[in-house]
Amino acid sequence: MLIIYIEMIGDDCLESDVAVQFKNVEYEINNSKILKEINGAFIQGKLTSIIGPSGAGKSTLLTLINLLKSATKGEIVISGKTIDSYDPMELRRKVQLVSQEATMIKGTVKDNLELPLILQNKNMTDEEAEQYLENVDLSTSFLNKNSKELSGGEKQKLSLARALVNKPSIILLDEVTSALDRNSKQAIELLLQKIKREHNVTMIWITHDINQALRMSDYVWVMKNGEVVETNTVEEIENSKNTDVKSVIGEKSI
């Protein structure tokens, strides 16, 4: 495992630094290989971006990490345990997925924040809910507001607040800023940096905004045609000689 890691990141590291490890992972559906021979590690407490063209398999790879889909070959190890040995509900508390749509349930902001606890037959006090809102720089006066009335940026902040309720160790972010205007996008970027700093979570972030990936990440995975072309530090990716990496990086901001 260590050898694979060193190959992938090109740096010294302890096995305990690895939050998620892919070992020869494949995903096939309808006789079509969507992901091929995926190897690599996502490092504990670091932010790794996944970049690559549309259809490269980025979202599919992310959904394997919280068992929304299951790998058809190979092994995924999370915190030293193979993913198959987790109860899916337990795993999804540990590994939270936030997507572009910032999906809300019908009801108030509080109803949405409380949802992860309600699913476990627990409740959230108003004081706790206000604390979560403050954490993501949302006004506590929003508590009883209908979630439908929030702006796109506010909904995304609320979905991040909700993702933190179960105190995850891994947060998966699938294009969380792509539907947002510049100011909201910047606010979410700052918020993610704050969450990473204060909660020491591992973040895996798919983005089509190459500048954002290079600016925000510790590590980058570059994907193309269902394969991981290179995983490396931002600096190494920027200086990569690989033609596929160069073509993806060359696109810069879309």
Ligand X SMILES: Nc1ncnc2c1ncn2[C@@H]1O[C@H](COP(=O)(O)OP(=O)(O)OP(=O)(O)O)[C@@H](O)[C@H]1O
**Candidates 4-12, 54-62, 122-130, 197-205 — which segment interacts with Mg ion by CB under 5 A?**
54-62
Choose, by CB under 5 A, the member of 44, 59, 156, 184 that binds Mg ion: 59
Angle at 169 between CA 166 and CA 171, to 5 degrees: 85
Q: Please, what is the minimum distance in Å from the beta carbon of residue 246 to ligand X?
A: 19
Q: Binding mask 22-41 vs ligand X (x if CB under 6 A, - otherwise)?
A: -------xx-x-x-------
CB 182 within 8 A of CB 220: no
Closest distance between ligand X and the C-beta of residue 57, in Å? 4
Nearer to ligand X, 57 or 116 (CB): 57
Among residues 60, 184, 232, 240, which is the contact residue for ligand X, using CB under 6 A? 60
- The reply to whether 54 sits near ligand X by the rule CB under 6 A is yes
Specify the stretch interacting with Mg ion by CB under 5 A; choose among 55-63, 115-123, 184-192, 221-229. 55-63
55 binds ligand X (CB under 6 A): yes
Task: Extract long-range pairs of 131-137: CB within 8 Å, 24+ residues apart.
Answer: 132/161, 132/162, 132/164, 132/165, 133/109, 133/158, 133/161, 135/161, 135/164, 136/160, 136/161, 136/191, 137/187, 137/191
Report the residue number, 60 or 202, with the smaller CB distance to ligand X.
60
Residue 99 or 242 with smaller CB distance to Mg ion: 99
CA pair distance 148, 145, nearest whole angstrom: 8
If one asks whether residue 177 binds Mg ion (CB under 5 A), the answer comes out as no
> For the chain, how far is it from start to end, CA to CA, in angstroms?
36
Least distance (Å) from ligand X to the CB of residue 128?
34
Q: Residue number with the shortest CB distance to Mg ion?
A: 59
**Closest separation between CB of residue 64 and ligand X, Å?**
10
Task: Count the site residues for Mg ion by CB under 5 A.
Answer: 1
| Closest CB 177 distance from ligand X, rounded Å | 14
C-alpha atoms less than 13 angstroms from C-alpha of 220 in its C-beta half-sphere:
28
Between CA 112 and CA 103 the distance in angstroms is 10
The answer to whether 158 touches 116, Cβ cutoff 8 Å, is no
Q: How far is the CB of 150 from Mg ion (least distance, A)?
A: 24
In sequence order, which residues have a C-beta less than 8 Å from that of residue 248 and are 6 or more positions away? 51, 52, 53, 210, 222, 224, 229
Residue whose pair of structure tokens reads 């494949």 in the numeric block: 26
User: Measured between alpha carbons, how far is 138 from 157 in angstroms, rounded to an integer?
Assistant: 7
Which residues inside 62-101 make contact with ligand X, applying CB under 6 A?
Answer: none
E-assigned strand segments in 89-211: 95-99, 170-174, 202-206
56 binds ligand X (CB under 6 A): yes
Binding site for ligand X (CB under 6 A): 29-30, 32, 34, 54-60
What residues line the site for Mg ion (CB under 5 A)? Answer: 59
